Amino acid sequence: MSVMAASRLRRRARKRSSAHGESAEPVEVFVRSRYFADLLLEYAAPPFSAEIAPGLVWIVRVQPPAQAGWAIDLLALVQRWLESARLPWATVLYGGRTCLIRPSTDIAQFQAAVEAPRGLPSLVTS
């Protein structure tokens, strides 16, 4: 997942959140089997509300919390899940757009940069 893709997801999340603090629309993660769906539910349990959506394919529907910054937390969660399940990617649907997320250490760098006092420029080292 690139820094630019994470930024787009965050911008869309901000647009979809209401001024009253309601959470954004659900994020749907397509999974290969019931086993992987259950594993993702375990990962999502504390910070996110999640459920297996009814249908012909395995989809885990994650409801983001009302607080800001949930997009980075969700991306990190999905990447940890991919790494533990040894899956090459996950297809994620949000806001009518599909995103392909792969396991990567880039999200940890991006999250550290966002939390840094000066923001993204801390990614650049001299």
- The rounded average pLDDT for each run of 10 residues, N- to C-terminus, in the chain (126 residues) is 54 48 80 95 91 93 89 91 92 93 69 60 45
pLDDT, position 49? 94
Domains, the chain: 3-16+23-111 (3.30.70)
pLDDT, position 47? 86
CA 79-59-38 angle, 5° bins:
65
CA 55-57-62 angle, 5° bins:
80
pTM higher than 0.85: no
